[in-house]
Amino acid sequence: MSAPIKVIDPETLPKHFEAREVEARLHERWDRLGVYAHDPARPRDETFVVDTPPPTVSGSLHVGHVFSYTHTDVLARYHRMRGQNVFYPMGWDDNGLPTERRVQNHFHVRCDPRAPHEPDLKLAPATAAEAKQPPRLVSRPNFIDLCLELTHQDEEAFKNLWRRIGLSVDWSLEYSTIDPRCRHLAQLSFRDLFEKGHVYSVEAPTMWDVDFQTAVAQAEVEDRPTRGAFHDVAFGVEGGGEFTIATTRPELLPACVAVTAHPSDARYRHLFGKTARTPLFHVPVPIFASELVDPEKGTGILMVCTFGDATDVVWWREQKLPLRQIIGRDGRLVAVQFGSDAFPSRDPEAANTRYAQIARKGVGGARQAIVEMLRDATTDSTGTGTAPLRAEPKPIEHAVKYFEKGDRPLEFISTRQWFVRLLDKKEQLLAIGDEIRWHPDFMRLRYRNWTENLNVDWCVSRQRYFGVPFPVWYPLDADAQPDYDHPIVAAAATMPVDPTVDLPPGYGADQRDQAGGFTAEADVYDTWFTSSLTPQIASGWVLDPNRHARRFPADIRPQSHEIIRTWAFYTIAKAWLHEHTMPWKHVVISGWILDPDRKKMSKSKGNVVTPMHLLDEYTSDGCRYWAASARLGTDTAFDEKVLKVGKRLVTKLYNAGKFVLAQAGPHAPIDVELDRAFVERLRQLVTRVTKAFDAFDYAHALQDTESFFWHDFTDTYLELVKHRARDDAGGSAIAGLRLGLRVLLRLFAPVLPYVTDEVWSWVFAEETDTPSIHRAPWPTLEELSTIAAPADATCFDVAVACLATINKAKSEAGVSPGRGVAQLTLAASSETLRQLATVERDVLASARVERHDLATDDALAAGTFEVRKAEYVAPVEA
């Protein structure tokens, strides 16, 4: 007789799964055991590196966070159980405009890079009274300290959520994108790009947000349908004649530098090469032909201004037109003098009088004023005596470019900016994108599409404060003018630097901003300049070459699809520019959570669902179940029904675990045909689920495991064998149940880390010497190979079919499935009855059949049964 197996006494366990208590207890245990710590010494090929998205902490918690971060965690947990050394860091993206705005309001401060640094500055949140006063000006280092202070609170909120939903990150690897190490790496990145000739600064027309007063990059720009109007405005032609252009931006008339039409347009062909004269300002401008003009649009002839849109910039460059910049950095019209070299006019006096009416106005006000003037017949400059505005404005809706965080249309303003040269590397960037595996694969096309259509280099300088500063100074000449062609880039060893505080090599503090001295570059990086280094931030890159070799490129980059053009693209670009490699092998794209009307959840729409109450109500495992039910790349409508199903599954696992592990008996082999047939099915499940996980398809892995657990395991196998399990000869059944549970818990563990580890801890932790299921080996066929295959695996299906037939008969007779059957006559084909023989005892015991006989009927289809006669025992009196 073998020694008895270890069992639990279910009476000593809580009746229900107490999620909060279990979650708290397991957090403590996981920390104590170091379950999620990675081993820095293990080699690259045993390591699974996750390039975790650092969330923007100044945003609010969102059910979408639970969704996408769970996807990553499920994959990390799977690979950990496969024995890999999982490297799963967590960072916080705290630099950038959202945080700046929050800090400005919270402390009522503004950053002024010229303000003196106050090393001991401590501020309290601004009171209502203080907020009415002018904001306090603080230095950039002070401003960064305030940002750090505030974002720390936000980071705690995120950290709580991450722990609560059970992210298996190694918290010793925590970072934030503004911390000294990230600043250091971002500046090293700049220096490397500078040395390789991949960055340049240039004064050129750049997309500019007039509210934030900073340049923005192509990736941060979005088109929004905006109402406007075509204004038909008559221009004169020097030497006689006139034509009518159509414009949506009449306020730019003073900035007009040329006129153009399509070369094949017969209406205007005679004008090419002549000189037009603008109305109101009497500016002579050339008329040229351009293929870029659409003859169908407007009047087919248009004015080129500096700058109305991106095409104006193209024409300005190609035709080498003069610069007449009238929109200032604040979006208002600057003062200009007609009759000067820059602003010639055939009638400077009239031009200046008219311009005086729009100077200092915003774009909208200037537009209104100009249109008024154009309506006035006395402003006629074509000699016809009619007003230049030849028709009432025709309202249209057209696409206008906005900064994604901005409220007013972008302007093209000529400013000096730093760029990363990317346009000449499209081929390489496309090639590397094709080497990376995208999940789902069609997301690759978003990357291709973006890369192919890229039309300006990456503008990386921002005229903001809370960001990583450029490690750059410029020499000042004898007239205190900066020499932009010879920037002084900080030495790697001195980084991170703040050029507004630190000194360039060879200069003294007294030479700052003095003729013959130096001046600091005041700009900071685009936040993506740092975020695009997350794989290198985690690996250490040049700061830790050994570690970098073991952690880079990463295995997976999880992210959502709307930032393929920013985060994915820039990260690929950086890895290529620095090391001619891919930053990661796989990109896994989570979809969005949509509200029930299939609209994206967003703060501005007010349809955001916050996660905490869901975790309370449905448990963390239940919420993870919901998240893991959605396939990669698929947008999913938020549906609480799925959370309920998750919670039910958690409860069922808990109860099934209690029942199975309470069945006492000796150690015994699995040697009964039905048990072996069950194990055979289990083997097939393990094969399928493993294959799905290897393809990052956690959703199908979960679905498969769940349906097996619920249908094959609890409703079928467990029901079929539980009577035998209580017999003296029940050893094989108990062993089969325990093996089934031991395998299923592990297949569920990546998705349901709490309930599985709790049930695991009762018996299996000791039995297998693995204190946590999350370090237990993933189930394999080798592990199941000691159990012999059944002689005929179909006996399982035959048992299921037979039991279902009896159950149906009971249901049709209005009899409880638990009611005994005193006498049953069961018919089936001779072959089916032969198959039934090995499982007959379990089936009839499960159906509570007391006496039965079998009738052979070869007219019945194989594998089907018929109840010919049934006498049910009397119900038990209450």
Partner RNA sequence: GGGCGGUUAGCUCAGCGGCAGAGCAUCGGCCUUACAAGCCGAGGGUCGCUGGUUCGAAACCAGCACCGCCCACCA
Tokens of 871: 């006498």
Q: State which amino acid sits at residue 803.
A: L
Nearest CB to RNA, comparing residues 310 and 793: 310
Please give the C-alpha separations between residue 447 and each of 443, 455, 650, 726, in angstroms, as whole numbers: 7, 14, 39, 60
**Residue 265 beta carbon to RNA: minimum distance, rounded to whole angstroms:** 10
Q: How many CA atoms lie within 13 A of 876 on its CB side?
A: 5
Q: State which amino acid sits at residue 814.
A: G
Nearest CB to RNA, comparing residues 398 and 667: 398
Q: How many CB atoms lie within 10 A of CB 125?
A: 11
**Residue 169 beta carbon to RNA: minimum distance, rounded to whole angstroms:** 28
**Residue 448 beta carbon to RNA: minimum distance, rounded to whole angstroms:** 8
Closest CA to 693 of 74, 237, 40: 74
Nearest CB to RNA, comparing residues 164 and 722: 722
Nearest CB to RNA, comparing residues 305 and 358: 305
Nearest CB to RNA, comparing residues 249 and 324: 249
* Gap between the Cα atoms of 688 and 862, Å rounded: 27
Nearest CB to RNA, comparing residues 107 and 230: 230
Nearest CB to RNA, comparing residues 123 and 662: 662
* Gap between the Cα atoms of 29 and 33, Å rounded: 6
Nearest CB to RNA, comparing residues 503 and 845: 845
Handedness of CA 143, 144, 145, 151 (dihedral sign): positive
Output phi, psi for 619, to 5 deg: 70, 155
**Residue 253 beta carbon to RNA: minimum distance, rounded to whole angstroms:** 11
Nearest CB to RNA, comparing residues 598 and 834: 598
Residues 6+ apart with CB under 8 A from 309: 401, 412
Nearest CB to RNA, comparing residues 240 and 814: 814
Q: At what angle do helices 569-579 and 443-453 cross, to 10 degrees?
A: 70
Q: State which amino acid sits at residue 286.
A: P
**Which H, E and C letters describe 327-385, residue by residue?**
ECCCCEECCCCCCCCCCCCCCHHHHHHHHHCCCCCEHHHHHHHHHHHHHCHHHCCCCCC
Closest CA to 461 of 452, 451, 453, 471: 471
**Residue 630 beta carbon to RNA: minimum distance, rounded to whole angstroms:** 7
**Residue 43 beta carbon to RNA: minimum distance, rounded to whole angstroms:** 36
**Residue 279 beta carbon to RNA: minimum distance, rounded to whole angstroms:** 14
Nearest CB to RNA, comparing residues 506 and 814: 814
Nearest CB to RNA, comparing residues 17 and 338: 17
Query: Terminus-to-terminus CA distance in the chain, angstroms?
Result: 42
**Residue 398 beta carbon to RNA: minimum distance, rounded to whole angstroms:** 4
**Residue 456 beta carbon to RNA: minimum distance, rounded to whole angstroms:** 9
Nearest CB to RNA, comparing residues 442 and 791: 442
* Gap between the Cα atoms of 871 and 868, Å rounded: 10
Nearest CB to RNA, comparing residues 247 and 539: 247
**Residue 530 beta carbon to RNA: minimum distance, rounded to whole angstroms:** 20
**Residue 655 beta carbon to RNA: minimum distance, rounded to whole angstroms:** 4
**Residue 340 beta carbon to RNA: minimum distance, rounded to whole angstroms:** 25
Q: State which amino acid sits at residue 64.
A: G
Output phi, psi for 41, to 5 deg: -85, -20
Closest CA to 321 of 308, 334, 333, 330: 308
**Residue 656 beta carbon to RNA: minimum distance, rounded to whole angstroms:** 4
Helix, strand, coil abundance in the chain, percent, nearest 5: 45, 20, 40
Pairing of strands 636-637, 593-594: parallel
**Residue 764 beta carbon to RNA: minimum distance, rounded to whole angstroms:** 17
Tell me if 638 sits within 8 A of 63, measured CB to CB.
yes
Q: What b/e sequence results for 236-275 when a residue is b if at least 16 CB atoms lie within 10 Å of its CB, and e otherwise?
A: bbeeeebbbbbbbbbbbbbbbbbbbbbeeeeebeebbeeb
Tokens of 542: 């040049």
Q: How many CB atoms lie within 10 A of CB 16?
A: 9
678 cis-preceded (ω within 30 degrees of 0): no
